[in-house]
Amino acid sequence: MTKTVLISGAGIAGPTLGYWLGAAGFETTLIEKAPSLRSGGYVIDFWGHGYDLAERMELLPAINHAGYRIKELCVVDDGGDKAAGFGTNVFHELTGGRYVTLPRSELSRLLYEKVAQSSEVLFGTEILGLDQDQGGVSVQLSRGGPRRFDLVIGADGLHSRVRELAFGPIRQFERQLGYTVAAFEAAGYRPRNEDVYVMYGQPGRMLGRVSLRDDRTLFLFVFAGTPEPFPQNREAQKALIRQRYADAKWEVPALLSELDRAEDLYFDRVSQIWMPNWSQGRIALVGDAAFCVSLLAGQGSALAMISAYVLAGEIAKAGEAHQPAFAAYEHLLRDFVRGKQEAARRFAGAFAPRTRWGLAFRNFVINAFAIPGLARWAIGHDITDRLALPQYSWRQTAGKAKRSSAQ
């Protein structure tokens, strides 16, 4: 019987996997490169089977408490006047009210709290080397030296180190969608629009503003192009954003001043990961590490949770043999995930149109969503998860068995 599992990455997929493997009686070690859970970042829309799984993990009250019910998408012009928009009630109608917007870091924290008592946890730790044989995987950790596990799972996101070590460099699997994304939060910004997603767009660049609790505001920048070399340090990233938005209007000068002061900046390429297979011997990948769908799918967190749940369930079902478990995991999810990736690629051009015509057409479509029934018809297909979430039998109440926990 497989007993010990190393999970790399305490984002969304990692803690979810730890929780369900714990429910199946496995010993898990969760490592995270960052010194503590990542805070800040951006907000995510959360629904579908991710929401269903959160319910099974008894997290819904906390998620809804941490979340927001965005009521309107409002596109503004250079002067801040409304150019297009629609009420987002349609999302709540289509999901039966099971739809919430919340900071990714909050979802990550809530998932982590579910697993922190039952898993060994090591922050500030990453994998330096992996060497697998018939009996297990020898792992060199950056802290704590060599360890041996029955299985190693990479839940370490788009730039996964486990993927790089076990499958090869990211360039083999990354499909860039041609955009760069940045996000940061600021305190005390004015104006505020409660429960409204305010969006400003010019050809090839968009900006989103969301008012959060505690007088905080989230800003999201998405612009066309992924410069080579891609800026790695904070100041170079800020400089690129300033350059790309230098002549933009609306509130942009004020936003760029906030950017200057921002200490925490999320900045990355908008990319997907397409892999021919998600496992290699005793090593497998979940979430963005395996199949990043990108922000344009609006469902990467839910998919990260679904993949973690299915992988844990299949490992539990297969017992000693990990290969059938990995094969079943992939078989169950591959087509479903591919559908989400393809939908995101179709949506890419509409998110930050590159021409004035494209922008005008996008605004036309957004306004048309206000016509009763049209939004339901247009997005109903993509918003529904066409996958029956498998039922597995778990041995124990997850998250109950106490393990040693280290910081």
Ligand X SMILES: Cc1cc2nc3c(=O)[nH]c(=O)nc-3n(C[C@H](O)[C@H](O)[C@H](O)COP(=O)(O)OP(=O)(O)OC[C@H]3O[C@@H](n4cnc5c(N)ncnc54)[C@H](O)[C@@H]3O)c2cc1C
Q: Which residues bind ligand X (CB under 6 A)?
A: 8-14, 31-34, 38, 42, 44-46, 104, 126, 155-157, 161, 181, 183, 220, 287-289, 295, 298-302, 304
Query: Residue written as tokens 């997850």?
Result: 398
One-letter amino acid at 14 equals G
Residue 280 and residue 386: Cα distance in Å, rounded? 27
CB of 392 to ligand X, least distance (A): 20
Residue nearest to ligand X (CB): 11
Find the shortest distance in angstroms from Cβ 15 to ligand X.
8
Considering the complex, what minimum distance in angstroms separates the CB of residue 305 from ligand X? 8
Q: Tokens in use for 173?
A: 């699997």
Say how far apart CA 18 and CA 149 lie, in whole Å.
14
The closest of 208, 231, 224, 250 to 101, measured between CA atoms, is 208
Closest CB 290 distance from ligand X, rounded Å: 8
Residue 308: how many other CB atoms lie within 10 Å: 28
Closer to ligand X at the Cβ: 12 or 359? 12
Nearer to ligand X, 104 or 205 (CB): 104
- Smaller CB separation from ligand X, 20 or 42: 42
Rounded least distance, CB 232 to ligand X, Å: 14
Q: How far is the CA of 332 from the CAs of 103, 145, 306, 337, in angstroms?
A: 29, 36, 11, 10
Q: 67 or 157: whose CB is closer to ligand X? A: 157
Q: How far is the CB of 319 from ligand X (least distance, A)?
A: 26
- Cβ-based nearer residue to ligand X, 224 or 361: 224
In the complex, least distance from residue 341 CB atom to ligand X, rounded to whole angstroms: 12
**Running DSSP on this structure, what letter comes out for residue 378?**
H
Residues in the chain: 407
Closest to 2 measured CA to CA, from 279, 324, 320: 320
Of the pair 106, 251, the CB lying nearest ligand X is at: 106
Kindly tell me which of 37 and 324 has the beta carbon lying closer to ligand X.
Answer: 37
Q: How far apart are CA 68 and CA 294, in angstroms?
A: 22
Residue 169, burial from CB neighbour count under 10 angstroms (0-12, 13-18, 19+): exposed
Return the sign of the alpha-carbon dihedral for residues 237, 239, 243, 249.
positive
